[in-house]
Chain A
Amino acid sequence: MIKVKNLYHSYSNDDNYAVKDVSFEVTKGEIFGFLGPSGAGKSTTQNILTGLLELQKGEVSVAGYDIKKIIPKMFNKIGMSFEQSNVYSKLTAKENLEFYRKLFDVKTRNPDELLRLVGLKGKENKKTGDFSKGMKHRLTFARSMINNPELWFLDEPTTGLDPAIASEIKNIIKEQNDKGVTIFLTTHNMYIAEELCNRVAFIIDGEIKLIDSPKNLKLQYGDKLVEVEYIENGNLIQETFSTVIKSDKKKLQNLIGKHEIQTMHTKEATLEEIFIKVTGRRLV
């Protein structure tokens, strides 16, 4: 669905690259996470993929279209939810969606249905200038689905949302992916990436440092240990066991049989820990 080969981009048109030698592929139906701190080159890459920024050097194909020669009908196939909400503040939520749906050549979704989906039912006729930041963000998110995109770009889709709404948004993303929509997710939120993505790319200083599935990364970079808290003679005891060493595995089995277990955690590394390990930098 997306093919990027040796992509470079410089805002100053010199060797000072914001993105350098970036190559990756996203297959159809995949949720691909693009992780990196602010200024790493995430937005630059995404803007080149969506045609918002001109391709300077490299080969990029999106939804079967060569980005060097973008043709308008490509945009019928893609959707984009911006990090900064961008809706017409003098129009109502419904008027915003009604306007955008007329700009596409493909079958579009019903604005009322989309507004209900993102929890804005009852606010259809309210001017978006009077919306809260979260409501505007949800409207921007809803708008990105209006043309039933095959390829969906999501830029920080849950940023600034309360946990309940963020959870709903994640469910919508999963549902869309189940329907076969390919998703390119740009975020610095490792939790959403870990939860949603089939594969993630770590980008820092304009370069991709690593691409793999969160599961493989955890196996590769996480410690194979289990941390257990249990009660013995009225005291809370904490111990760590290897999940590889035979004797530790036996001890753990005995412990589970004999004692009351309070907590038990595998010592998997989080994506953030892996990111720090790989790049030496934090995600924020």
Chain B
Amino acid sequence: MLRRIISIFKRDLKVNLKDFISLYIFVIPVLFAIAINLFTPGINDTTINLALLEGENPEQVRYFKDFAKVELFGDIDNIKSRVKARDDIVAILPNQENYYIMSQGNEPKGVIEFAKILNSFYQLDIQIEDTNVEIKDFKRTIPPLKKQLVNTAILFISILGGMLIAINIVEEKVDNTISAINLTPTTRKTFILGKSIIGLLLAIFGSLVLIFITGFTDTNLIQLLMIVFVSTLLSLLVGFIQGLNNDDIMNAAGSIKLLFLPLIAGALAIELLADKWQKFFYWNPFYWAYKGNDAVLSKTGSWKEILFYSSMVLILSTVVYLFLAPKIRKGLE
């Protein structure tokens, strides 16, 4: 059985590596990861950038460096050019006895306010020791938006696994090869398992690649893989059914995209809706998978919690399986 499962997987891999759409699906996790890194701010990007004149007031520079990222420039023209650059940076420049703030005009209000207050604190000679607030942190340097995007991307990747299976099933249908497979000692179960491997591996390796590129390497990978595994099962089922129901790769892929709706709904419900609305999303496996991923990525998930979320996804996927299994069986006849 194992030999046949591997043969079916190797055949699919060989065909997918020759096919442009499948190759594109293979690299999507990498593209996701790069895009997330490019478009979400790192924790350092949320600090305030200040431009100052070099040598004008060394004491002020030292003071500001405790609270912001300081860049020094030799003259006003260089500072002007720097302030006009795409990122958020403001300059604090001398004006006779006082200082004025130079900004590009599109900086967040908070950045300007911060610069104003910092300059006032300096002029009033307020030191860190003067505060009675103590800050404690958990040394987490990843911003929440990035975590949400990575979480959603992991679920997207699980759907891509289903899409790949649909593509491979459509190929079998178009070439009419399922009947030939049925006349070998390959059982239906072996065939389904063999066909599922590529989708499952894409989801697992794609998620790992995403995690490594986006810098979530210190999360509990076993917990993460457990959630990825169970959430991929649903996508695989849908991949099979859409593959069997379509004769065209693009139609099958398009039908699989319907899964993005419950995925987005689950993610938005958790992030945006109040607790009283949450119960309306308990039917959605992606809701639980998102919760599970969130717990893993935040490093707050206990095993009990992760097992609960995984079980919820598994139970809901089993319900879907019970509904789809006769259709899959019939389609493979």
- Residue positions of A touching B, CB distance < 8 A: 50-52, 72-76, 78-80, 82, 84, 86-91, 95, 99-100, 102-105, 140, 143, 147
Cross-chain pairs A/B with CB under 8 angstroms, 22 sampled: A72-B186, A75-B184, A75-B185, A76-B185, A80-B180, A82-B176, A84-B176, A87-B180, A88-B11, A89-B174, A90-B15, A90-B18, A91-B11, A91-B14, A95-B14, A100-B184, A102-B7, A103-B4, A103-B7, A104-B184, A104-B185, A143-B180
Cβ contacts B162-185/A at 8 Å (1 or 0 each):
000000000100111101111111
- Between B171, B177, B187, the greatest number of chain A beta carbons within 10 A of the residue's beta carbon is seen for B177
The distance in angstroms between the C-alpha atoms of A140 and B177, with both chains bound, is 10
Among A78, A87, A99, contact of B183 (Cβ-Cβ < 8 Å):
A78
Bound-state Cα–Cα, A79 to B165, Å: 28
B-chain residues with CB within 8 Å of residue A88 when the two chains form the complex: 11, 15, 171, 175, 177
Q: Which 10 A-B pairs have the closest CB atoms?
A: A72-B185, A103-B184, A86-B176, A102-B7, A90-B15, A75-B185, A80-B183, A99-B11, A86-B177, A103-B186
| Residues in A neighbouring B130, C-beta threshold 8 A | none
Interface residues of B (CB under 8 A from A): 3-4, 7, 11, 14-15, 18-19, 171, 174-177, 179-187, 333
CB-CB nearest in chain B for A103:
B184
Per the bound structure, the CA–CA distance linking A95 and B15 in Å amounts to 10
Give chain B residues whose Cβ lies under 8 Å from the Cβ of A86: 175-177, 179-180
In the assembled complex, the Cα of A88 lies from the Cα of B171 at a distance in Å of 8
| Closest CB in chain B relative to A155 CB, distance in Å | 11
| 10 more A-B residue pairs beyond the given contacts A76-B185, A91-B11, with a C-beta to C-beta distance below 8 A | A51-B183, A52-B182, A52-B183, A86-B175, A87-B177, A88-B177, A89-B174, A95-B14, A102-B3, A147-B184
User: Measured between C-beta atoms, what is the minimum distance from A43 to chain B in Å?
Assistant: 11
The dominant DSSP class at the B interface is: helix
Residue of B nearest to A140 (CB): B180
Tell me the interface secondary structure of chain A in the complex: loop
Report how far A50 CA is from B180 CA in the complex, Å.
Answer: 11
Distance, CA A53 to CA B15, complexed state (A): 29
CA distance A91 to B180 in the complex (A): 15
Contact B185 A103 (CB under 8 A): yes
Closest to B16 in A: A90
Question: Which residue of the partner chain B has the closest CB to A100?
Answer: B184
A35 to chain B, nearest CB (A): 23
Contact B182 A99 (CB under 8 A): no
Interface centre among B14, B180, B181, B333 (most CB of A within 10 A): B180
Contacts of A51 in B (CB 8 A): 182-183
Q: How far is the CA of A143 from the CA of B3 in the complex (A)?
A: 19
- B11/A82 in contact, CB under 8 A: no
Instruction: Say whether B185 contacts A100, CB under 8 Å.
Output: no
Q: With A99-B11, A102-B3 known to touch, is A82 a contact of B187 (CB < 8 Å)?
A: no
Residues of A within 8 A of B19 (CB): 90
Q: Which residue of A lies closest to B183 (CB)?
A: A80
Q: Is the CB of A52 within 8 A of B179?
A: yes
Given the complex of chains A and B, what is the CA–CA distance between A200 and B15 in angstroms?
Answer: 42
Q: With CB as the reference atom, state the residue of chain B lying closest to A146.
A: B184
Q: Which of A73, A90, A143 contacts B171 (CB 8 A)?
A: A90
A74 to B183: give the CA distance in the assembly, Å. 9
Whole-angstrom CA separation of A147 from B183 in the bound complex: 11
